[in-house]
Amino acid sequence: MKQEIQRRRTFAIISHPDAGKTTLTEKLLLYGGAIQLAGSVKGKATARHAVSDWMELEKQRGISITSSVMQFEYEGYCINILDTPGHQDFSEDTYRTLMAADSAVMVIDAAKGIEPQTRKLFKICAMRHIPIFTFVNKLDREARSPYDLMEELENEFGIGTYPMNWPIGCGHDFKGVYDRENRQILAFQEFHRGQDRIQAVACSLEETEKLDGLIGHRLRQTLTDDIELLDGAGYEFDLEQVRQGKLSPVFFGSALNNFGVEPFLESFLHLTMPPLPRTSGEEVVDPMDPRFSAFVFKIQANMNKAHRDRIAFMRICSGRFERDREYLHVQGNKTLRLAQPQQLMAQDRAIIDEAFAGDIIGVFDPGIFSIGDTICEKGMSLCFEGIPTFAPEHFAAVERVDTMKRKQFEKGIMQIAQEGAIQIFHEPNTGVEEVIVGVVGVLQFEVLEYRLKTEYGVDIRRRPMPYELLRWVENDDVDIRSLNLTSDTKWVQDFKGNNLLLFTSPWCVNWALDKNPGLLLREFNRD
């Protein structure tokens, strides 16, 4: 069991949209033999779509909408990749997925540098001290100075950077990268596409004639100066600092052309860690503890039209999972027999008999699991820290067009809400059938409308609402109707019966707190 756990590597890939995150994921799968042909994310070159973008709407829009889990073997390692949506409108899904990762790979567009969504996601990683590895992508196009990119990383995030390799030119002048550790050059060939391993050219910086022949006199001179400067004035490499999230190893390459991906993967697997311990209250749960424990970080309905089921994604935190054994669902205080655990490759699945700490598995959910739930062996008193639900920023009233489709509407909207993509509320004691939907980003409304129509056969009408802020009412004993609130503040409840207030502006929030001494409001839900 310990050997199996030691060889696990579980990481999330994060980035701003269009930085090349899904393309990098596909090339990693290609090296692992998990797929035979990488698809074009936009679907133009090969009429294929990215493996991790399995939802029909993702294929149409060319963006990742929901996180995907992919497991494959590479050189003795068992790798679990979590490919996350880059678009900020789906950041809630990314936040939850990062809770299941032991490290993160941040993909940055070499021409654009750090973008708003990258900034947001990094803060989540920093909060959890997740080690961050940086892949600077698209060097085959015109790019910013690598010094500028590293300085931006250091200033924005307050961490050190250590370039593992160094680019030789960019755009039309891109000749490859210099591997600092092995003191060798990887020469760039366009349309390499990963069919063969790139043969490195061993070449010290003192071999000027050989270097001139490889990359030309001008680029050789620049490279020599750059490496001298990095060796003399750059950060020292410190593995402990990397693992504490204080130093980010930086790799340069081109995912689309499959250049620099394989060296990155090999270095990353040696530098990153096996599964990390997790906390349950005051207790630290060691991955090597033989007793099984896990938590649910994602729920997805209707991944496969042939199945029409719900899958709960679990991150195993300790021990060994065995099929058909009974385990305790802590929040439900019931024992469950998990008979069909699945290994996942985006929407494809395979039934497995066992899994180990670090693995991500999918189990059938008959509607009993919620995000953040703990599952463990009987006799263990564990409850992993819940995954916070962030307050939505956009709201709309939603009702079905066909009044005869009430059951389908209620089932669809409840199941999608339980996945965590949307939050649903209702006005108490009004008898109004329309549901108030809150989302982090407006594109989620389109996804909701699309999924209700295609998966549940329900057309909806959507009416935008003017609210911008939502707060959970922390006081259990307060009578909401007696509160002194502005006329445009709305009282709603979620499907668990929690009381919430919708506000049109921060001024209205301050009014509620000023005029109602003792009222406690919070910005996220800890249930």
Nearest residue to 388 (alpha-carbon basis) of 183, 526, 286: 526
Angle between helical axes of 21-31 and 261-271 (0-180°, round to 10): 80
Confidence grade of residue 294 (pLDDT, cut at 50, 70, 90) = very high
Sign of CA dihedral 178, 184, 187, 191: negative
- Compute the distance between CA of residue 397 and CA of residue 411 in angstroms, rounded to an integer: 17
Q: For residues 289 and 251, state if they share a domain.
A: no
Q: Is the pLDDT of residue 485 over 90?
A: yes
CB atoms within 10 A of CB 437: 24
Work out the percent of the chain whose per-residue pLDDT is above 90.
30
Amino acid at 463: R
CA angle 317, 320, 324 (to 5 degrees): 115
For 69-92, the pLDDT digits (tens) are 788 888 899 998 887 654 444 456
Same structural domain for residues 234 and 340?
A: no
Give the range with max mean pLDDT: 183-187, 283-287, 339-343.
Answer: 283-287
Q: Are 245 and 14 in contact (CB under 8 A)?
A: no
Higher pLDDT, 44 or 415: 415
The dihedral through the CA atoms of 121, 127, 132, 136 has a sign that is: positive
Q: Domain for residue 34, yes or no?
A: yes
pLDDT of residue 49: 42
108 vs 121, which has greater pLDDT? 108
Does any domain span residue 381? no
Number of domains comprising the chain: 3
Residues 25 and 152 in one domain: yes
Same domain, 294 and 163: no
Give the pLDDT confidence score for residue 317 in this predicted structure: 94
Q: Is residue 434 part of a domain?
A: yes
CA pair distance 289, 320, nearest whole angstrom: 9
Residue 206 has pLDDT above 80, yes or no: no
**Can you give the residue range of the structural domain that contains 486?**
389-525
**Does 79 map to a domain?**
no
Q: 134 to each of 71, 324, 367, 408, how far by Cα in Å? A: 21, 40, 38, 44
Q: For residue 275, is pLDDT > 90?
A: yes
Q: Which pLDDT tens digit goes with each residue over 160-197?
A: 999 999 998 888 888 888 888 888 888 776 555 444 55
Q: What is the CATH number of the domain that holds 198?
A: 3.40.50.300
Q: Are 363 and 447 contained in the same domain? A: no
Classify residue 76: in a domain, yes or no: no
Residue where one domain finishes, among candidates 255, 271, 287: 271
Residues 235 and 357 in one domain: no
DSSP string, 403-469: GGGHHHHHHHHHHHHHTTSSEEEE-TTS----EEEEESSTHHHHHHHHHHHHHH---EEEEEE---E
pTM assigned to the model: 0.76
Least confident of 236-250, 289-303, 341-355, 393-407: 341-355
Domain shared by 266 and 284, yes or no: no
- What is the H or E stretch that residue 507 is in? helix 506-515
Pair 519, 511: CB distance under 8 Å: no
- pLDDT band of 331, cuts 50, 70, 90: confident
Arithmetic mean of pLDDT, 120-149? 85
* 325 and 410 together in one domain: no
Task: Over range 485-498, report the average pLDDT.
Answer: 90
Q: Is the pLDDT of residue 487 over 80?
A: yes
421 and 368 within one domain: no
Confidence label for 52 from pLDDT (cuts 50, 70 and 90): very low
Domain-located, residue 78 = no
More confident call, 338 vs 94: 338
Q: Which tens digit of pLDDT belongs to each residue from 297-316? A: 888 766 555 546 778 889 99
